[in-house]
Amino acid sequence: FGLEDNEFMYLLLKALQALDRGKNDMRTIGYIFEIRALVSSGYMPYMENCINCGDPDITFFHPEGMLCTDCAKHIESIALTNEGYQALLSITALEIDEVFKLKIKGNILKQISACARIMMKHYLDVSFQTYNVLKHLNWY
């Protein structure tokens, strides 16, 4: 990912501790880990206005940043509810010690999952086949 070893290891440690404590869903921890690893590597999406036109009315996520409805028509993106946007904003902004305490459920978790997938594909140009297997088994 390009992280300094210490920062990545700390992120990994906190993710493993969160899994060990069992106070959060493993899917949530996994998605948070993926997004934070990318963000910590310098792949921080711009979250304030549309990255294309500057419109503050943003409802779509692209790995480089948020988009307004008009700009999203021409760019691959993920529709986010306000709750999904707030969850993604928290994932990108909270300290590592706090981020794994987030509780994300249902439709919001699906939105975060889609954001993690599109970020991995965009920045690393990888699509892991195990995600499809785990998704089919409803594990991840």
Whether the pLDDT of residue 140 is over 50: the answer is no
Q: What is the pTM of this model?
A: 0.85
Give residue 74's pLDDT: 86
- Give the model's confidence band at 19: pLDDT under 50 very low, under 70 low, under 90 confident, else very high: very high
Mean residue pLDDT of the chain comes to 88
Q: What is the mean pLDDT of residues 38-64?
A: 95
Q: What is the mean pLDDT of residues 90-113?
A: 94
| Residue 11 near residue 37 (C-beta atoms within 8 A) | yes
Higher pLDDT, 22 or 46: 46
Whether the pLDDT of residue 16 is over 50: the answer is yes
Q: Give CA–CA dist 124/139, Å, rounded.
A: 23
Report which of 71, 65, 63, 61 is spatially closest to residue 51, judged by C-alpha positions: 65
Whether the pLDDT of residue 65 is over 70: the answer is yes
Q: Give CA–CA dist 31/39, Å, rounded.
A: 12
